[in-house]
Amino acid sequence: MSTQTGLKARLVAMGAPTLSILIFLGLWLAVSLGNRTVLPVFNPVLLPTPMEVVQSGIDAVRSGDLQRDILASLSRVFQGFILAAIAGVFMGVAVGTWRPLERLVEPMIEILRPIPPLAFLPMMVLWFGIGEMSKIAFITYAAFFPIFTTTLEGIKYVDPLLIRAASSLGASRADMFRHVVLPAALPAIITGLRLGFGLSFFVIVAAEFIAADSGLGYLINDARTFFMVSQMLMGAAVIGIIGFTFNVALRALEARLLRWRSVARA
Amino acid sequence: MDIASTADPVAATGDRLTKISIQGVGKVFGDNIALAKVDLDLAENSFTCLLGPSGCGKSTLLNMIAGFAKPSSGQILVDGKPVTGPGADRGVVFQEYALFPWRTALENVAFGPMLKRRGRAEQREIAMHHLAKVGLAGHEHKYPGNLSGGMKQRVAIARALANDPTVLLMDEPFGALDAQTREVLQEEMLRIWEQDRKTVVFVTHSISEAIFLADRIVVMGTRPGSVKEIVDPDLPHPRERTEREFIALERHLKHLVRAEVQKLGVI
Q: pLDDT tens across B83-126, in order?
A: 999 999 999 999 999 999 999 999 999 999 999 999 999 999 99
Q: Strand B3-6 to strand B226-233: parallel, antiparallel, or no bridges (unpaired)?
A: antiparallel
Residues of chain A numbered 166-225 and touching chain B (CB < 8 Å): 166-172, 175, 179-180, 183-184, 186
pLDDT(A265) > 70:
no
A169 and B115 in contact by Cβ < 8 A? yes
Q: State the average pLDDT over residues A152-166.
A: 93
Rounded to an integer, the average pLDDT of A142-157 is 93
3-class SS of residue B7: coil
Peptide bond into A160 cis (omega under 30): no
Q: What is the largest CA-CA distance in chain B?
A: 56
Closest Cα in chain B, distance from residue A167 (Å): 6
In chain A, residues with a C-beta closer than 8 Å to the C-beta of B169 are 168
Give yes or no for a contact between B187 and B107, defined as CB atoms under 8 angstroms apart: no
Mean pLDDT, all residues of chain A = 89
Taking contacts as CB-CB distances below 8 angstroms, the residues of chain A near B146 are: 263-264, 266
Higher pLDDT, B261 or B154: B154
What pLDDT sits at residue B162?
92
| Interchain CB distance below 8 Å, B102 and A186 | yes
Question: How many CB atoms are located within 10 Å of the residue B126 CB?
Answer: 22
pLDDT score, position B10: 45
Phi/psi at B49 (nearest 5 deg)? -105, 130
Let me know: does A130 contact A218? Beta carbons within 8 Å. no
CA distances from B89 to A207, B119, B171 (A): 59, 20, 17
pLDDT at A23: 94
Give, to the nearest 10 degrees, the angle between helix B149-162 and helix B120-133: 130
Cβ–Cβ below 8 Å for B115 and A261? no
Tell me the backbone φ, ψ of residue B10, rounded to 5 degrees. -75, -25
DSSP state letter for A178: I
Q: Which residues contact B212 (CB under 8 A, 6 or more apart)?
A: B186, B190, B239, B241
CB atoms within 10 A of CB B42: 23
Comparing A34-48, A204-218, B12-26, B66-80, which segment has the lowest mean pLDDT?
B12-26
pLDDT mean across residues, chain B:
87
State the Cα–Cα distance between residues B245 and B236, nearest whole angstrom: 11
What is the Cα Rg of chain B in Å? Answer: 18
pLDDT average, residue stretch A118-124: 88
Q: Provide the pLDDT confidence category of residue B15 given band limits of 50, 70 and 90.
A: low
pLDDT at A3: 56
CB B46 within 8 A of CB B19: yes
**Best A158, A163, A168, A176 residue to mutate vs chain B (most B CBs within 10 Å):** A168
Is B98 in Cβ contact with A161 (below 8 Å)? yes
Whether the pLDDT of residue A207 is over 90: the answer is: no
Instruction: Quote the pLDDT of residue B123.
Output: 93
Residue B267 pLDDT greater than 80, yes or no? no
A220-257 residue pLDDT tens: 999 988 999 999 999 999 998 998 898 888 888 888 88
Q: Look at residue B4 in the predicted model and tell me its pLDDT.
A: 47
Residues B201 and B166: their CA atoms lie apart, in Å, by 11
pLDDT(A26) > 90: yes
Contact B222, B215 (CB under 8 A): no
Give the C-alpha separation, A169 to B165, whole Å. Answer: 9
What's the one-letter identity of residue B195?
Q
Kindly report the nearest CA distance between residue A174 and chain B, in angstroms.
Answer: 11
Query: Which of A167, A180, A264 lies nearest to residue B145, judging by beta carbons?
Result: A264
pLDDT at B14: 54
The domain locations on chain B are 3-89+167-263, 99-164
* Nearest CB partner across the interface for B102, out of A260, A265, A266: A260
d(CA B149, CA A190): 29
On whether the CB atoms of residues A260 and B143 are closer than 8 A, the answer is yes
User: Which residue type occupies A42?
Assistant: F
Q: How confident is the model at residue B12 (pLDDT cuts 50, 70, 90)?
A: very low
- Identify the pLDDT of residue A63: 92
For the residues A111-121, what does the mean pLDDT come to?
88
Q: Residues of B with CB below 8 A from A168's CB?
A: 66-68, 86-88, 90-92, 160, 169
In the Cβ-directed half-sphere of A264, how many Cα atoms lie within 13 Å?
16
Task: Tell me which chain B residues have a C-beta less than 8 angstroms from the C-beta of A184.
Answer: 100, 102
Instruction: Give the per-residue pLDDT at B6.
Output: 46
Supply the pLDDT for residue B266. 66
Arithmetic mean of pLDDT, B23-35 = 88
- Residue B63 has, within 13 A of its CA and on its CB side, a CA count of 16
Chain B residues lying within 8 Å of A164, measured CB to CB: 66, 68, 86, 92, 94, 98
CA-closest candidate to residue B112, choices A244, A195, A171, A211: A171
For position B30, what pLDDT does the model report? 86
pLDDT in tens, B197-255: 899 999 998 989 999 999 999 999 887 888 888 989 888 878 888 888 888 888 988 88
What burial class does residue B56 get, using C-beta atoms within 10 Å of its C-beta: 0-12 exposed, 13-18 middle, 19+ buried? buried
CA distance B87 to B67: 8
- The CATH architecture one would assign to domain B3-89+167-263 is 3-Layer(aba) Sandwich (3.40)
3-state secondary structure B109-154: HCHHHHHCCCCHHHHHHHHHHHHHHCCCCCCCCCCHHHCCHHHHHH
**Helix A229-257 with A65-97: angle, nearest 10 deg:** 40
Nearest Cα of chain B lies from the Cα of A184 at a distance, in angstroms, of 8
Q: Count Cβ atoms within 10 A of the Cβ of residue A160 and give its class: 0-12 exposed, 13-18 middle, 19 or more buried.
A: exposed
Instruction: Report the C-alpha gap between B236 and A262 in whole angstroms.
Output: 47
Q: What is the pLDDT, as a whole number, of residue A99?
A: 85
CB B79 within 8 A of CB B86: no
Whether A124 has a pLDDT exceeding 90, the answer reads: no
Roughly what angle, to the nearest 10 degrees, separates helices A121-128 and A132-156? 120
pLDDT band at A155 (very low <50, low <70, confident <90, very high): very high
**Which residue among B88, B90, B145 places its CB closest to the CB of A263?**
B145
The pLDDT of residue B132 is above 60 = yes
Angle subtended at Cα B118 by Cα A158 and Cα A189, rounded to the nearest 5 degrees: 25
Interface contact flag, A165 B116, Cβ < 8 Å: no
Residues of B in contact with A261 (CB under 8 A): 101-102, 145
Distance from C-alpha of B12 to C-alpha of B6, rounded to nearest angstrom: 8
Q: Which of A169, A172, A176 to mutate to test the interface with B (most CBs of B within 10 A)?
A: A169
Please report residues of B whose CB lies closer than 8 A to that of A159. Answer: 98
Query: What is the predicted ipTM?
Result: 0.87
